[in-house]
Structure 1
Amino acid sequence: MKDGSSFYKTIAAAPVRCCVLFGLMLLPSLLFAQEKGKVEVVKDPKVDSLVQDYVVGDKGKNIAPASSDGYRIQIFSGSDRQAAYDAQAKLKAKYPDLATYLSYRAPNFKVRVGDYRSRLEAEKVMQDLKPLFGGLFITQEKINLPKLDTE
């Protein structure tokens, strides 16, 4: 036969269980009781001026991005540093207005010329450079864009 005291224990525990269950049901409503739709942004006023300079340009001038995809002509590739400098000097003597770029990636030095937006521009200049250098070819890479004339 069962003990009679267990029956009274279950009846006494019923109100406690009901309170716990009721509390668990109210918990989600307390979590979602925050006010929706209000966001307060705290920032330094200098941020607005920096964003304005970036979008419009410094002092109202239109400024192009510093680099873009484009083309350069490679005139030298080799492991001799002095030969790379000589190729760069030879080009500068004949075409002083062309920009030259010397880079090193082990074990080779590379000399590249120009900042051309289209491959056609690079091919035109490459035809002029063929008598001076052999083995020229066009590479695609990031180029420096020219400064915009604001006048």
Structure 2
Amino acid sequence: MKRLIIILISLISVQAFAQTDTSSIIVHKDPRIDLLIKKQIEINEVTTRNARRFVPGFRILVINTNDRAKALNAKTRLYQEFPSLNLYLMYQAPFYKLKAGNFKDRQEADDYLPNIQRLFPSGVYVVRDTIEVNPEPPSN
């Protein structure tokens, strides 16, 4: 009796798990999945925009002084001579550092260096820095 029940249960279970039609599978995709994918692409674009905006590059260090007035005068003078050049005045205690430009490679910066050395004959050199790929227009 036990053997008959075991055989009967095993046959029923084999039949229950058997597939009758193996030639096709139908998948019903929810159209909202495409909307979610588009939304995720937009979110990724916005959140990674700033990370792609700053890259390693070069700038020209124009002045490195502890006199704030001297640094501001140098910045004003550079703005007058090179209005399209982006200038960055930073304070790293106790010095004010005025850096100019967003150069992707060293050769670009070296080519521009003599123009600035006309105004500031000493202490001007190219330094590695994090630059802006698409900088905002300079604001006065």
Q: Give the TM-score taking structure 1 as reference length.
A: 0.58
Alignment of 1:95-134 (within 5 A): 95-133=82-120, 134=122
Superposed CA deviations along residues 111-131 of structure 1, whole A, max 9, x for unmatched, are 000000000000011011111
Q: Does the 8 A contact of 1:70 with 1:117 survive in 2? A: yes
2:59 maps to amino acid: R
How far off is 1:51 after superposition?
3.6
1:138 to 107, 123, 126: 126
> 2:59 aligns to what?
72
CA distance 1:108–1:47, shift in 2 (3 Å): farther
Matched residues, number: 99
Q: Find the partner of 1:92 among 45, 62, 79.
A: 79
The residue type paired with residue 136 of structure 1 is: V
Q: Structure 1 pair 90/50, CA: closer, same or farther in 2 (3 Å)?
A: farther
Gaps of 5+ in 1: 1-45
Shift of 1:48: 4.9
Q: RMSD of the TM alignment (CA)? A: 2.8
Is the radius of gyration larger for structure 1 or structure 2? 1
Percent identical: 26
Unaligned runs of 5+ in 2: 1-34, 136-140
Runs of 4+ that moved beyond 4 A: 46-50
Deviations 1:54-87 (A, max 9, x none): 55x46xxx99811000000000000011110000
Secondary structure of the structure 1 residue equivalent to 2:84: coil
Quote how far apart the aligned CAs of 1:146 are. 2.1
Report SS of the residue matched to 1:90: helix
**Structure 1 residues 49, 75: closer, same or farther in 2, change over 3 A?**
same
TM-score (norm 2): 0.62
| One-letter identity of the residue aligned with 1:123 | D
2:116, 2:133 → 1: CA distance?
Answer: 22
